[in-house]
Copies of this chain bind each other. A is one copy, B any other.
């Protein structure tokens, strides 16, 4: 084939931070999404699919740790100069839908959604700019029973996709308790809620980084600030040592059981009204979950969980996988968070002015798939390749296609070799690359006699690995059958009666 001399060829590259998914990567994800959808459906949630594109004003600005000028989203101007953007999560579009269709939707509205979201962030190892989320939310319920239900459902979903009990923990906390602690620490004044908002943001983000930075790193961020390994300095919240101590005490408030944790939190929030409300909510959630049989081996209170997003207003939750995996450098590390969520009572109000309580969870499907692969729970058995009908005689394509057609009609995955048939070795190499279980061969001689050769490639590979040259030449993995018996012969090899 002639080379094109044109100097300006486009580069065949995925854009930076994006990737392609092949074969089992696609079907395994689809299977997981279907399993989770089944759980969500059983809980009474209805599917919703919004488009990938929203107006920037509808999306709002809620991404944490925004380090880029366009604030973490991919955005552009349309022909009317309005700004559009790709959704960065499935919650912001839900808030828009809940406001737009508020007169038509049932209330409370339980909905689930699954699909890709996009973040205009610095790509990193295993961190992509497009990834899947699988969310469930209840809009229009102020009851913490809605939060408890989400936690129970998350636990069920994780077990349904193959994370056994003991390998995960759904941790529950409450932003109101954190606010109570902030009040005690003197960085929240109930009479002037906007005061110290900047400092509280730093405190929130610092707590959220405890797994990565450790207690000393968090303490530094609560105080003057922290210099990281590269020498970059992050300014802290400026809390005194005594103030920081209150916050650190909150993070370490988890006790052996929910009742003891609640008691400890009640001490910590002191006389704060919002804090007391938050502790009461946690106590109710724990009681509701216990009544349904969800014990602390599945769902537990953990004041260390705060979630990074700014819009949460009450209970927050996070599902952590508790087993260890080896990272790219061979070091053991715990797998960490695969899902998170919480109550966000003000997102719909942005649109309507009317408060609409809401709560929900988002499962990071790609991370969950990675966890299952790391544990060897999926991806063990390769998808069976197709039966390959080889082409011995270019003029008899119609015959080979009829063979393929018969196999397909019998429900057997099959294809005719469609490359250049001249080199027969290439055809068998192709069958090998496709992980074909069976190859069909029919030359002019076989055609004249009304037979086909059926080659068992899996048995053939075993014999090739173990047998002597003589045994190999005897080719017991290849048998001749009448053309009319072809489907039955292939079925026998595939192990289907």
* A→B interface (CB under 8 Å): 1-6, 9-16, 18-23, 25-27, 41-44, 46-55, 57-58, 60, 68-69, 74-76, 78-80, 82, 84, 86, 96-97, 99-101, 106-108, 110, 116, 118, 129-130, 138, 140-143, 145-146, 148-149, 152, 156, 287-288, 290-293, 349-355, 385-386, 397-399, 401-402, 405, 408, 411-420, 430, 433-434
Contacts and interface: CB of A to CB of B under 8 A. Distances in A.
A165 B325 CA distance: 53
Contacts of A141: 418-419
A399 B291 contact: yes
Contact of A152 (B49, B108, B290, B405): B405
Given A78-B16, A405-B293, A107 B430 contact: yes
Nearest to A4: B353
Contacts of A349: 4
A292 B353 CA distance: 64
Given A42-B413, A145-B416, A10 B291 contact: no
A21 B9 contact: no
A13 B149 contact: no
6 contacts: A4-B354, A10-B351, A18-B51, A23-B46, A42-B413, A148-B401
A86 to B, nearest CB: 8
Contacts of A9: 350-353
Contacts of A107: 419, 430
B433 A106 contact: yes
A58 B405 contact: no
A25 B6 CA distance: 47
B401 A130 contact: no
Contact of A48 (B21, B43, B48, B386): B21
A59 B21 CA distance: 18
A328 B411 CA distance: 41
A194 to B, nearest CB: 14
B401 A288 contact: yes
A13 B84 CA distance: 12
A291 B401 CA distance: 8
Contacts of A53: 15, 18, 74, 86, 118, 129-130
A72 to B, nearest CB: 12
Contacts of A398: 287-288, 290-292
Given A11-B351, A18-B53, A20-B50, 10 more contacts: A1-B354, A3-B353, A10-B60, A12-B58, A14-B100, A16-B78, A25-B49, A42-B408, A51-B130, A69-B79
Contacts of A1: 354-355
A465 to B, nearest CB: 22
Contact of A52 (B16, B43, B54, B130): B130
Contact of A140 (B13, B48, B78, B419): B419
Contacts of A106: 430, 433-434
A118 to B, nearest CB: 7
Contacts of A3: 353-354
B15 A84 contact: yes
Contacts of A11: 55, 57-58, 351
Nearest to A39: B408
A362 to B, nearest CB: 17
Closest 8 CB pairs of A and B: A44-B415, A12-B99, A291-B398, A44-B386, A141-B418, A26-B47, A76-B76, A4-B353
A79 B75 contact: no
Contacts of A23: 46-48
A379 to B, nearest CB: 14
Nearest to A435: B106
A401 B48 contact: no
B48 A418 contact: no
A128 to B, nearest CB: 8
